[in-house]
Amino acid sequence: MTQPGPRPVDAYLEELAASLPRSRAARDLLDEIRDHLYEAAEAGEVAGAGREAAERAAVRDLGTVAELAPDFRTAAMVCDARRQANRQLLGAPLLAAWGAGIFHLLPAVHGSFTITAPPHLVALVVAGTLLCPSLILLGLSRAPRLWWDARWLAWLVRARTLASWLFQLGLPASAAMMAYPIALLSDPPHLWWVAGALGGHLIAGLLVPTLSARHVVGAITRRQ
Amino acid sequence: MRAEQLKGHLDALLLAVLEAEALHGYAIIERLRARSGGTFDLPGGSVYPALRRLEMASLVDGVWSEVAGRRRRTYRLNDRGRAALAEERATWRGFSHAVGSVLGQPAS
């Protein structure tokens, strides 16, 4: 006895998913297409077709995966890049709060305070690794040409990769530079330096993505 | 009419369909078909990337909800979208008037 094959809608979605990047934007697009196909199939059933035939008609009317995939890939890449830029830009205020805490609260508590990492050097690292790449990525993701010029899309992918690497390196580095003054006040001194770097890593890897994905970016996106 | 023939006008048509009320993708396609008297029978696949493009351009807002156990994205025209639609309408009126002036009357 042969097993029944997957339903036409499920088979189509599986094929489409295989042609898209594995990302949140792609998952969102697939969910939207799933809703479309089921809605179309239900309309077909109401019109008198059987479920299987209604699903086949819904899939046929949507277009083949080969026809859809290029535009869907572009949409997913642009959405992912915009989301990443928003998320990374959220790291800047967190870092500013961390810096303000160290440079303003610590002298008030300890009295004497030695700045070992000059603020302009910290600012340079922050601008070079966090702000500039994220702003460039955000600007690039808003360019209308992305939607029809493959070269621009290729640049967006490169910018996204670079911004991601710089963010993962720059946030811990700048957090550690800010934490270094505490190291000089403590014993053993290197402990605080390491704590700063680890804090930066946690912010970059856990806190920013969680906060931005669940609350902040959603709110910003809805307001735009 | 095929999607290629509508290229350049699809964004404006989608904005126009969303002018009266917020709609999800399937309803947008059905509304487009109904309002064009069946002329714009687009393959659904061409509409979703265009909706994302409009959203990225901050002309429409998309909101997720859950309907019958499925995630559904509903689109709503925002103020920037209304302004863009007004601009598209003005451009289209000028263009169609000019084309009509040339094509509308056979040369005497």
The nearest alpha carbon in chain A to B58 belongs to: A224
Closest CA–CA distance from residue A33 to any residue of chain B (Å): 8
pLDDT tens digit sequence for A87-102: 888 877 777 777 777 6
- Residue A213 DSSP one-character state: I
pLDDT tens digit sequence for A40-83: 999 999 998 888 999 999 999 898 999 889 999 999 999 999 98
- Taking alpha carbons only, the member of B95, B6, B2 closest to residue B50 is B6
Q: How far apart are CA B22 and CA A71, in angstroms?
A: 24
Closest CA–CA distance from residue A168 to any residue of chain B (Å): 26
pLDDT tens digit sequence for A23-46: 889 999 999 999 999 999 999 999
Query: What is the edge-to-edge ordering of all strands in the sheet holding B23-24?
Result: B23-24, B70-77, B60-67
Contact A40, A59 (CB under 8 A): no
Residue B36, sorted as left (phi over 0), alpha (psi -120 to 50) or beta, turns out to be alpha
Q: How far apart are CA A222 and CA A220, in angstroms?
A: 5
| Both structure tokens of B30 | 């059905």
Nearest to B70 among A28, A34, A75 (CB): A34
pLDDT value at position A96? 73
Torsion of CA A61, A66, A72, A76, to 10 degrees: 140
Q: What are phi and psi of A148, to 5 degrees?
A: -135, 0
C-beta atoms surrounding A144 within 10 Å: 11
Give A75's contacts in chain B (Cβ within 8 Å).
Answer: 48-49, 52-53
Given a cut of 50, is residue A224 above it in pLDDT?
Answer: no
The predicted complex's ipTM stands at 0.86
- How confident is residue B102, by pLDDT bands cut at 50, 70 and 90? confident
The nearest alpha carbon in chain A to B46 belongs to: A68
Closest CA–CA distance from residue B70 to any residue of chain A (Å): 6
- How confident is residue A168, by pLDDT bands cut at 50, 70 and 90? confident
